[in-house]
Amino acid sequence: MKELEQVPERGLSLVVSFSKAYATVPIDTLLVLSKWGDAGVYVTVNKPFEVLKPVFEKKGIPTERVFFIDLITQTSGAKVAEHKNCLFLASPRNLTDFSIALNEVINSLPAGKKFMILDSFNTFTLYNDAQTMLRFTHFISGRLRAWNVRGVIFAVKEETDGKLVAQLSQFVDKIVYF
């Protein structure tokens, strides 16, 4: 958890963790951000909203201050139930739809400190080639700065090419290793 205090208040951070620690890193990050009083967006490409929400609530994370963008439930063919704080998108391949949704959600959040968590870069690269994701990350980093929003992107060390981390480092303000 101490490493998460290195995440700057504004701008974009890349959080790189070993796979053995990855299960707890998103939870710990969201817990820290919620304790800081931020409201935000949790973008999930890994686990469906219906799986994440109870885990977060069990850890004491106030999910009413978090809006979820779920890019995996429909992709996996699971049934989607309507939720007031979750938007289900059809596919992680459609970066335009995701960008529009992110813009709408960020602008609908209450005034004050805001964050965006993207879980995870590695999973996005299963659906989009690495160069496309690098360009998209560059675009998102600019949007987050324009919105004055704290951004966190997760990556698993063993699954992330060192060259990709080096390229991502040009767009982020901080890299935090777990």
Question: Domain total for the chain?
Answer: 1
Residue 1 pLDDT > 70: no
Question: pLDDT class for 23, splitting at 50, 70, 90?
Answer: confident
Residue 7 pLDDT > 80: no
Q: How far is residue 74's CA from residue 91's CA, in Å, rounded to a whole number?
A: 7
Q: Taking the model in full, what pTM does it have?
A: 0.93
Element (H, E) at 57: helix 49-58
Q: What is the mean pLDDT of the chain?
A: 89
Cis peptide before 120 (omega within 30 of 0): yes
Residues of the domain holding 29: 2-177
pLDDT tens-digit map of 95-129: 999 999 999 999 999 988 899 999 989 999 999 99
Q: How far is residue 101's CA from residue 126's CA, in Å, rounded to a whole number?
A: 21
Q: What pLDDT is recorded for position 3? A: 64
DSSP helix/strand/coil, 167: helix
CATH assignment at residue 170: 3.40.50.300
